[in-house]
Amino acid sequence: MAEQTQVLTDIDRLLQVAERLKNFLSEEAIENVKVHNGEVTVTVKRENLTEALQYLRDEEKFEMLVDATAVDYMHLRNETRFDVVYHLLSLTHRLRLRVKVSVRSDDAWVPTVCHIYPSANPYEREIWDMFGIHVEGHPNLKRILTYDEFPGHPLRKDFPLFWQPGQPLEKPEEKFEEW
Amino acid sequence: MVMAMATVERERALMTINMGPQHPSTHGVLRLILTLEGETVVDAEPVIGYLHTAIEKEAEHKTYHKVITLNDRLDYVSGMTNNFAYCLAVEKLLGIEPPLRGQYLRVIVSELQRIASHLVFLGTMALEIGIMSAFFYCFREREKILDLFEMLCGARLTYSYIIVGGVRYDLPEGWIDKCREFLREFPKAWHELDELISKNPIWLNRTKGIGVLRKEDAIAWGVTGPSLRASGVPWDLRKMMPYSSYDHFDFELITAEEGDTYARYWVRMLEMVESLKIVRQALDNLPSGPVIADHQWATPPPKTLLDKDMEALIRHFLFYSRGYPVPTGEAYAAVESARGEVGFYIVSDGSEKPYRMHMRSPSFIHVHALPVAAKGHLVADLVAILASFDPVMGEVDR
Per-residue exposure over A93-129, b if at least 16 CB sit within 10 Å of its own CB, e if not: bebbbbbbbbbeeeebebbbbbebbbbbbbbbbbbbb
Q: Are strands B162-163 and B166-167 parallel, antiparallel or unpaired?
A: antiparallel
Strands B341-348 and B329-336: antiparallel
Chain A residues touching B334 at Cβ < 8 A: 66
**Structural domain contains residue A151:** no
Residue A173 lies in a domain: no
Helix-then-strand count for chain B, H and E: 16, 8
- Does residue A148 form part of some domain? no
Tell me which chain B residue has its CA closest to the CA of residue A116: B220
- Domain range for A24: 2-105
Chains A & B: contacts with CB separation below 8 Å: 94
Return the residue in B245, B317, B345 with the most chain A beta carbons within 10 A, the one to mutate for interface testing. B345
Name the maximum alpha-carbon separation found in chain A: 59
Is B214 in CB contact (< 8 Å) with chain A? Answer: no
Contact B240 A94 (CB under 8 A): yes
All domains in chain B, ordered by first residue: 2-47 (no CATH), 55-397 (1.10.645.10)
Residue A115 belongs to a domain: no
Least confident of A148-157, B89-98, B245-254: A148-157
- Residue A18 inside a domain? The answer is yes
Q: What is the CATH number of the domain that holds A26?
A: 3.30.460.80
- On whether residue A159 sits in a domain, the answer given is no
Confidence check: pLDDT of A176 > 50: no
Number of separate domains in chain A: 1
- Residue B63, chain A, CB below 8 Å: the answer is yes
CB B276 within 8 A of CB B252: no
Helices (H) and strands (E) in chain A, counts: 3, 7
Q: pLDDT tens digits, residue range B15-70?
A: 888 887 887 777 778 888 988 888 888 888 999 988 888 899 889 988 999 999 98
Selected residue of B235, B365, B393 to mutate for chain A interface (largest A Cβ count, 10 A): B365
Taking CB atoms and an 8 Å limit, are A119 and B322 in contact across chains? no
Q: Which residues contact B39 (CB under 8 A, 6 or more apart)?
A: B378, B379, B380
Minimal CA separation from A73 to chain B, in Å: 9
Q: How far is CA B14 from the centre of its chain?
A: 36
Q: Rounded distance, CA B25 to CA A127, Å?
A: 29
pLDDT at A8: 58
- Residue B168 and residue B149: Cα distance in Å, rounded? 12
* A158 in a structural domain: no
Residues A59 and A46: their CA atoms lie apart, in Å, by 20
pLDDT higher than 80, residue B9: no
CA geometry: angle A170, A175, A177, nearest 5 deg: 155
Residues 6+ apart with CB under 8 A from A149: none
> Is residue A143 a part of any domain in this protein?
no
B94 shares contact with chain A (CB less than 8 Å) = no
According to the model, what pLDDT value does residue B22 have?
80
Question: A interface toward B at CB cutoff 8 Å?
Answer: 36-39, 41, 63-67, 69, 71-72, 75-76, 85, 87, 91, 94, 96, 98, 117-119, 121-122, 130, 143-147, 154-155, 159, 161, 176, 178-179
* Chain B residues 145-204 with a CB less than 8 Å from chain A: none
- Give every CB contact of residue B314 below 8 A, 6+ residues apart in sequence: none
Element (H, E) at B47: strand B40-47
pLDDT tens track for A41-95: 999 999 889 989 999 998 888 999 999 999 998 888 888 889 999 999 999 889 9
pLDDT tens for each residue of B201-238? 888 888 888 888 899 999 999 999 999 999 989 999 99
Q: CA–CA separation, B55 vs B42, rounded Å?
A: 35
| Region A157-161 average pLDDT | 81
Q: Measured at the alpha carbon of residue B60, what is the angle toward residues B59 and B65, in degrees to the nearest 5?
A: 55
Q: What's the CA gap between A130 and A136, in Å, rounded?
A: 16
